[in-house]
Structure 1
C-alpha cells in the first residue's frame, strides 16, 4: 500500500511538472521529437490581404515540415477587421490553444489590443500592421514590428512629382487611419525637398458615399490636379469609380497611388481596372523572377483558387510573400528544442533569413524597412512595369546593377496618363468662372499711385470696392497676355504686406497684387513673379536750392536785414560827413530839400566811387576812408555772390552719402513695418534709435523739410513717385542698394506662376509697362513751392559783416562825437543857451507838433551866427 501511494505521488508530480512546463512555453518533446509547438495567427479573411496571408502561412508551415521533418501546428483565427474580435481571438489562442507566438493582425487598432493580452502571458506578437509606434515596442518587449515600414515610398513619389515639375499636390487619405500621420509627414518633407508641397489634405470617411461625392466635386473645382492616394482597397476602389463618373480621370489629371492599394492592383476585375486607366503607382518590390518565388507562386495559386474561388485573380502580392517569410522566420526560431518564450523572441530578433520578399533581419524590435519600390502604370486590363526606384540610387528600368540607376524618371519607359495622353500633364487647370482666382489687394499701401482701394455704398448699403493704381494696371495688362482666360476677383485686405503674403500660405487668397516687395523671408509663405519694377533701395535728401534767374535776382545775394543795415549805415556816414563839411562847402547848404538831397547823394556815392569832392576836415576824411574800405568789401562780396547764383547749378543735395549721416549721428526715415528698417540697421549699420518709421506717406516730406530726419530711404519705384510730387525740394543721392523689386505673390509651387511671369515679361518687353509708368508719373502734380527758406539760408546776412559795420559805425560815431565836443566848447554862453533851448524844444514837441518844431528850428538857425569866431577846424 505504501509503494502504491508513492507511485501515485510520483505520477502526480510528473503530470504537474508537465503542465508547468507547457504553461511556461517549453514543449514536451519526449513523446514526439518532430513536434515543435503551436503557432497562432490572426488575419482578416474578409480582405484580400488577409486571404493571401492565411494561404501563405499555411504554405510556409508545410514547406518547413517538408524540409526539416519538423511539425508545427498553425492555428488561424479570423478577426473580420474588428479589433474586439481580434482581442477575443488572441485570448482563445493563448488560453485554449496554448500557442507560443502569434502572427498578425494587420491593423494597429487590432494589434494594440492583441499586444496588451499577449504581454500579460509573455507571448511574442508579430505585428503585420503598416506602422507600429516606437513607444509601443519599447513598452511591450514581446511586441515585434514584423511588417517593414514603407515610408521611403514617399521619397519615390516626390521624385515622380519633381520629374514633371509639379509643385502642388493634393493628398487623399482615409480618416481614422493610424498610419496616415506618419505617411503625411514623410510625404510633406519629401515634397519640400524637391520644391513642392501638399496644397490640400483630403480625408475620406469610410463608407460615406454621399460625402465622397461632395468632396470630389470640391476637388474638381480646384485648379490643382495632382492627387496622391493613400487608401485601403475598398475605399480606393470606390474613389476611382466615382472619379471616373465625374470625369476626373481625363486629360491634365494626375493620380499617384501607393501601398497597400498599389500592391493589390493585380486583384481587380476588368470593370474596376477600367476606372483607373492612367494611374501611376509606387508598390513594394517583389523579386518575382527568382526560382523560390516561382515555386511559392505555383503552390499559392493552387491553394488560393481552391480556398477563395470568389477571387478573380490568384496571383500572390507582397503581403503574401511577407506573411510566408514571417511564418518561416518564427518557425525557425521555434525549431530549437525546449525553448522558452523569451528565448523564442530572442531567436526571432537575431534572424538573418533570405526570404521571398528580401532579406529578413531586425533592428531592435523592428524589421528592416523597405528601400526598393516598383513604378507601375495602369493601362488596359492590368498594368505595365515602368521600372524601379531605390533609396539613394534613384530610378532604373531594371533592378540589377547600380550603374543602371538614374536620378530622373526619364530613365523609365513611356507613361500613359489619364485621358490616354502621352505628353506631360499640366497637373492643374486655370480658374473657372464658377471658381475665380481670389486676389488679395492691400488697403494700407503708403503710395496710392501703385494701389488704391476705394469703397462706396450702393442704394442697399452694401460696400462696393474699386481698385486702381499702377500695380492693378500691370496685372490687367499681364492677364491680357496669358494664353488662357483667367477669371479673378479682387478682395481688399487690411493689414501689413507680410500678413497678406501669409494669407496666401493659409489658402485664404490665391494670389496678391500690389506694391509687394520681393523678400527672402516671404518665400516661406509664397513665391513671386519676376519684378515688374526696377529694383533697389535709394536715399532721398533735401536739396539746397540755387536761386533761379529772375527780375529781382540782384537783391538775392544779401538778406533784407543786410540791405537795411547797408542803407542805414550809408545814410549815417553821409550825415556825419555832411555835418562836419557843411561849414566848408557852400554846396552843402541851402534849402532843407537841397541839403537832404545832397546828404543822400553823399551817403550812397561813396559805395560806387572814391572820387568825391575834396574833404576839408580830418574827421570826415577818417570817416570816409573807413566807410570806403567797408564799401569795397561789401561790393566785392556782392559781385562774387551774384556771379555764383548765375553760374552754379540750381540744386545740390544736403547729404551726399550714408557715411555723412552716420558720422553726424543723424536721424533717417523709412516706411513703418517694412523690411527697410532692418536693412538700415543690419546692413547699413545705422543705430536703432536713429531710425524713424513713418506709417503714412504724407509724413515724409514734412519730416524732411523740418529736418526731423536728414534722409529718407525708399524703394526705387516709390521714390520716383515721391520725387514726382516733390520735384523741387528733394533729390536722390548716393548708391542704389540692390534689393528685390515689386512683384505679384502666388502660392508656393503654383502652376499658374510660370505662365503669369512669362506674360509679365511680355508686358515689359513690348513697352506696355513703360507707358503705364510714364502716364502714372506724368499725372503727378508737383506740390512744391519756391524754396524761400532754403534760398534765404544761402543769402548773406549781417552776421558775416558785423565786425565791419561795428568798425565803420564806431569810427563815424567817434568822429561825430569829437566834432560835437569841439564845436560845443567853442560856443559862447548865448549859443549854449540856444542849444539848450533847442533840446528842450525837441523833447517838448517831438510827439505831436512836428510842424511847429520845424519852424522853431528855422527861427533859431536864423539868429545863430554863420561863422563862430571861436570854431576850431579839424
Structure 2
C-alpha cells in the first residue's frame, strides 16, 4: 500500500512534464486519468491522452494539467484514486477506468462531487446514467459484437456451441446474456457454458476436459487477456487446438492481439476473432500512428509491439473531447461542463463522437480476423443489418455468410471447414422402435422366438432407413423394440437408454425429454364418424336430377310450345276445335308429345313441323340427361357424416374413441374438452371399426396417418368429419442439443423434395385402397345453365314460327279484300256498260238517220 502514493506522485510528475514541456505555465484546467498502468490497454491510454494534450496545445495554444492514477485493476484503488483527484488535485473531469466494476466506484464518487467521468468501459448498462448523472460513456457499446459472433456461427451451419466467459465482471455477464439471445435467435443451441472465476487455474483443466468429452467442438470465448492466455495454454496441452475444433474470440482479447508476443500467438493458431473496428486511414491517423510508436517505445521499452490499438484511439478521443469542452467559452452561466461534453459532435480517431443519453452511439461495424503465424490476418468486416464484406466503404458488397470472405485457417490447418461436432461412437446408435403401434402399416415388429431375431418393417422404418442413407457420413445404428407407451419411449432418450427413437408424435411437453426432427407426415388429428345417406326423402328423388329453376323453365317451355302448336294447327285440324277444355287438352298433348314419345301426331302446317322438330330435339336431350342423372343418383348413393359438429358432439352422450398409448387422451380431454367418462381407447384400427359397428363409439379421433389408412380400408362405412386439428406430426426424437438433428432434417427435406416420402406413403395405402374412394361425391342437380342454348333454340324457333304465321294471316286477309274490290268494280263497270248499250240500241230503232249517220262517221261515236 505504501507504493501506491509514491507511484501516484511519480505518475503525476510524469504527466505534468509531458504537458508542460514547451507549453505555457498557465493551465486552462486539470484532467484526471484512472487506468491500470501495468496492463497493455492502460499503457496505450496513458500515451494517447498525453499525445491528445500536446496536440490540443498546438491546435488551440491551451494547456491542461494531466493527473494520472493507477487503479491496479481494483475497484477500491480506483475509488481512492478518484477521491484523491477530486479532493486534492481539484480535477474538473476524469477519464477512465476500463472495466465496469471500477467504473461503478469512480462514478459514485464523481456524481457526489458533480464531476464528469468519461468511462472507457464498453458495457455500460442503460440504467447507469440514471443512477450516476455525471457518468458519460465515451467508449461505444459493444453488445452488437455478439450479433457478429452469431452471424459467424450461422454462416458455417454450426448449430451447437460452447461458451466460455469471464465471471469476474458483471459486464462480461451482460455480454454473455446478449450472446445467448443472439445465438438462440439464429437457431443455435448452447451445449455448455463455462464461467471462469479469477482464481480458477487449478480447476480449468478439469472443466475443459469435460467440454472435450462432449460432442460440441465450437467454442466462443469472451475473456480478459490474462484469462484467455491461460485458457489457450491449457487447451493446447489438452490437444484442443487441433483439427476439428473451432475457437471464436471477442474483445478485449481481439483488440489487444497485436500486442501479444510470438509464444502467446503460437497458442492461438487458427482462432477467428471479432475485433472492434476503427478506421486506420487518413492523415490524422498516420500522424498519430507515427508519433504514438515513438512515444510508446520511449515510455514502455519492454513492450515488443508499439502499435496503437482501439484503446489508444478511444483514450485520445476522450481527452480531446474534454479539452474541447473545457476550452469553450459561453455566455450561458448555467451551462455546466457536462452539458458542453454532451454537445460534442466530431469525428475522432475511433469514429464518430456523438452522445445520446450520455452514451456514445454504439458500434455497428466489427473487424473479422484470423490468427496465423506470428500475427493475424484481416479477413473482412461485419456490419449490423448488412452482413459480411471484404471492404468498408461506398463500394462494399455485403453478404449474409462469412464464407464469401475467403479461406479461413482453422486449428490444425485443415483445408475444409470443421464440422463443429464429433460423435465418438464405440458402438452403433441404439434406436428405439414402438411395439404397440396401432398402425401395422407404419411399424411392424416381428419377433422370432426360435432364433431370437427381430424384424422391423413398415412405412416409418423405410423413411428412417432412407434418411440415414442420405446423411453425408456413415452412421451405424441398430433398431431395438420397446414395449411401452409413447411417452415412456421418448423418456428413454432422456434416460440415455436409447440414442434416438422413431415413430413418435411431436408434442410440446415431450420437449423436456428430447428434441425432435421436423415431421415426415402431415401433422394433425382428424375426426372419423360413420356415414349415412344424404337423401332423407327418397320419395322425391325423381325431382333431384334437375333444380327447381330447371323444372319451372321446362314447364314454361311446355306451355309455350303447346300454345304455339295449337295456334299453328287450329285452322287445319278440325279435331282440335271445340270447347275451351278440349282445346286446352289438345294444346298440352301437342307440347308433351316430344317428352314421352318420339313420333308425335301428324301435323299439317310446315311451321308446326319446324317447331315440333326443334322441340323434339331439345326434348330428346333433356329426357336423356334426366335419365342419366337419375341413374347416377340411384347407383352412387350420396353419404354424409352422422356427426359433423364437435360442439354438439361434446354436449351429447356419444362415446369417442382414441388410440391406446398416444397423446390423444390428453388432447381430447384437455384441449377438445370431452368428459373422460365418454372416452374409450383402442389398439389396432380394426378395433375401431368393430366398436363403431357395435355402437360402442360414435366418433374416433385419429392422427392423420392413421386416419388415412382407416378411411382407405373402410371407405364405404366411415368418413372424415369436422376440421383438421393441427397437432404435432410424426418425427424422430434425439437427445436435446444433438448435432445430428440438422443433418437429419436436411435428409428428410431431401426425401420430401424428391418425392420419396409420397412414394412410400402411396405404397403403404395401396393395399388398403377401396375401389370406391369418392365416398363424399354427390351427383349435382342440373340447372338451366347447362341447357340455355337449347331453350333459346326451341323458344326462338317457336317465336319465329308464330311471327311468320301472323304475318301470313295478315297478308292473306289484305289480298282477299283487294280482289273483292276489283271484282266488284269490274262487275259494276260491266253492268254500267250493259245499260248504256241497251239505251243506244233503242235510240237507233227510233231514229234510223241518226243511226246511219252514226255508222257513216264512226270516228264521232
> Which of the residues 697, 701, 713 maps onto 1:713?
701
- How far did residue 394 of structure 1 move? 2.1
Give the secondary structure class of the aligned counterpart of 1:84.
helix
CA positional deviation for 1:244:
2.3
Moved more, 709-718 or 233-242: 709-718
Corresponding position of 2:87: 95
What is aligned with 2:140?
A: 148
Secondary structure of the structure 2 residue equivalent to 1:256:
strand
Distance 1:677 1:55 in 2: 73
Q: Secondary structure at the match of 1:209?
A: coil
- 1:408 corresponds to which of 401, 413, 416: 401
- Residue 659 (str. 1) matches residue 644 (str. 2): yes
What is the CA–CA distance in structure 1 between the aligned matches of 2:432 and 2:333, rounded to whole Å? 69
Residue 474 of structure 2 is aligned to residue 484 of structure 1: yes
| Structure 2 CA distance for partners of 1:493 and 1:248, relative to 1, 3 Å | farther
Q: For 1:229, what is the secondary structure of its paired residue? A: strand
Pairwise CA distance, 1:756: 3.3
Q: 1: distance between equivalents of 2:417 and 2:506?
A: 31
Provide, for residues 538-585 of structure 1, a one-character-per-residue CA deviation record: whole Å limited to 9, x for no partner. Answer: 5555699xxxxxxxxxxxxxxxxxxxxxxxxxxxxxxxxxxxxxxxxx
How far apart are residue 173 of structure 1 and its match? 0.7
Q: State the match for 1:289 in structure 2.
A: 281
- Tell me what 1:513 maps to: 501
Partner in structure 1 of residue 267 of structure 2: 275
Contact 1:451 1:514 (C-alpha < 8 Å) held by counterparts: no
Q: 2:339 aligns with which of 335, 340, 346?
A: 346
Picking from 317, 330, 342, the partner of 1:325 is 317
Contact 2:429–2:500, Cα closer than 8 Å, also in 1: no
SS in 2 for 1:314: coil
What is aligned with 1:107?
Answer: 99
The CA deviation at 1:336 is: 3.5
Cα 1:62/1:163, change in 2 over 3 Å: same
Deviations 1:798-848 (A, max 9, x none): xxxxxxxxxxxxxxxxxxxxxxxxxxxxxxxxxxxxxxxxxxxxxxxxxxx
Q: After the TM superposition, which residues 613-762 of structure 1 pair with which residues of structure 2 at under 5 Å, given as runs?
A: 656=641, 659=644, 666-671=654-659, 692-693=678-679, 697=683, 704=692, 707-718=695-706, 741-746=729-734, 750-757=738-745
Partner Cα separation in structure 2 for residue 313 and residue 489 of structure 1: 60
Q: 2:301 aligns with which of 309, 312, 318?
A: 309
Partner of 2:589: none
The Cα shift of 1:736 comes to: 10
Q: How does 1:417-432 map to 2 (within 5 A)?
A: 417-432=410-425
Alpha-carbon deviation of 1:424? Answer: 2.4
> Cα distance, 1:748 vs. partner?
7.7
For residue 383 of structure 1, the aligned residue among 364, 370, 376 is 376
Work out whether residues 154 and 183 of structure 1, in 8 Å CA contact, stay in contact via their aligned partners in 2: yes
Question: Is 1:367 the equivalent of 2:395?
Answer: no
Give per-residue Cα distances to partners, 1:411-446, cap 9 Å, x unaligned: 423222222123222112224339x97978889988
Q: 1:63 to 1:534 in 2, by over 3 A?
A: closer
Q: Is the 8 A contact 2:641 2:719 kept in 1?
A: no
Q: 1:747 to 1:300 in 2, by over 3 A?
A: farther
> 1:525-564 counterparts in 2 under 5 A?
528-529=516-517, 531=519, 537-541=525-529
1:264 aligns with 2:256: yes
Give the structure 2 partner of residue 35 of structure 1: 27
Taking the aligned partners of 2:481 and 2:378, their CA distance within structure 1 comes to 48
Decide whether aligned partners of structure 1 residues 696 and 209 sit closer, same or farther in structure 2, where only a CA change above 3 A counts. Answer: farther
The two structures have a TM-score, normalised by structure 1, of: 0.61
Pick closer, same or farther for the CA change 1:156–1:491 going to 2, 3 Å. farther
Q: Which residue of 169, 173, 182 maps to 1:190? A: 182
CA distance in 2, matches of 1:757, 1:337: 67
Q: Deviations over 1:584-615 (max 9, x none)?
A: xxxxxxxxxxxxxxxxxxxxxxxxxxxxxxxx
Contact 2:646 2:722 in 1 (8 A): no
Inter-CA distance 660–207: structure 2 relative to 1 (3 Å threshold):
closer
Cα deviation for residue 450 of structure 1 reads 7.5
Secondary structure in 1 matching 2:420: coil
With over 3 angstroms needed to count, the CA separation of the structure-2 counterparts of 1:192 and 1:768, relative to structure 1, is: closer
Structure 2 distance, partners of 1:519, 1:151, is 35
Q: Which residue of structure 2 lines up, in the alignment, with residue 864 of structure 1? A: none
Quote the Cα distance in structure 2 between the aligned partners of 1:509 and 1:149.
Answer: 47
Which of the numbers 220, 224, 227 marks the counterpart of 1:232?
A: 224
* C-alpha distance 38-176 of structure 1, shift in aligned 2 (>3 A): same
Cα deviation, 1:252-309, whole Å, max 9, x if unaligned, reads 3221111111111111111211221221111111211222111111121112222222
Distance change >3 Å, CA 351–CA 34, structure 1 → 2: farther
> CA 1:298 to 1:467, structure 2 compared with 1: closer, same or farther past 3 Å?
farther
Corresponding residue for 2:202?
A: 210
State TM-score, norm by structure 2.
0.62
Q: 1:362 Cα deviation (Å)?
A: 0.7
SS of the residue corresponding to residue 274 of structure 2 reads strand
CA contact (8 A) 2:79 2:106 kept: yes
Deviation of 1:365 (Å):
1.6
Give, in whole Å, the separation in 1 of the partners of 2:344 and 2:241. Answer: 46
Structure-2 change in CA distance of 1:145 and 1:341 (3 Å): farther
Deviates further, 476-485 or 253-262? 476-485
Structure 1 residues 437 and 127: CA distance shift in structure 2, 3 A: farther
Q: In the TM superposition, what is the alpha-carbon distance from 1:103 to its structure 2 partner? A: 1.1
Contact 1:439–1:489 (CA under 8 A) maintained in structure 2:
yes
Over 3 Å counting, the alpha-carbon distance change for 1:177 and 1:537 in structure 2 is: same
2: CA distance, partners of 1:135 / 1:668: 58
**CA-atom RMSD in angstroms:** 4.9
* 49, 52, 55: which one aligns with 1:57: 49
Contact 1:197 1:748 survives alignment (8 Å): no
Change (3 A) 1:92 1:660: closer
**Post-superposition shift, 1:120?**
2.0
- The answer to whether the aligner puts 1:255 opposite 2:239 as a matched pair is no
Q: Distance in 1 between matches of 2:53 and 2:242?
A: 47
CA distance 1:97–1:508, change in 2 (3 Å): farther
The alignment partner of 1:387 has SS state of strand
Q: Is the 8 A contact 2:165 2:223 kept in 1?
A: yes
Give yes or no for the alignment of 1:157 onto 2:149. Answer: yes
Deviations 1:751-793 (CA, angstroms, capped at 9, x unpaired): 4124435667999999999999999999xxxxxxxxxxxxxxx
Q: After superposition, what is the alpha-carbon deviation per residue over 1:11-35, rounded to whole angstroms, capped at 9, x for unaligned?
A: xxxxxxxxxxxxxxxxxxxxx8941
Match of 1:72 among 64, 67, 70: 64
**Alpha-carbon distance in 2 for matches of 1:337, 1:522:** 69
Evaluate the alpha carbon distance shift between residue 282 and residue 655 of structure 1 in structure 2; reply closer, same or farther with a 3 A threshold: same
Query: Using the alignment, how far apart are the partners of 1:167 and 1:523 within structure 2?
Result: 17
Alpha carbons 2:49, 2:315 under 8 Å: kept:
yes
Query: The residue matched to 2:307 in structure 1 has which SS?
Result: coil
> In structure 2, what is the equivalent of residue 394 of structure 1?
387
Partner of 2:121: 129
Unaligned runs of 5+ in 2: 1-23, 446-453, 533-633, 768-861
Distance 2:490 2:347 in 1: 57
Per-residue Cα deviation, 1:117-151 (whole angstroms, up to 9, x for no partner): 22222221221112122222101111112211111
Measured after TM superposition, the shift of residue 174 of structure 1 is 1.2
Shift of 1:65: 1.6
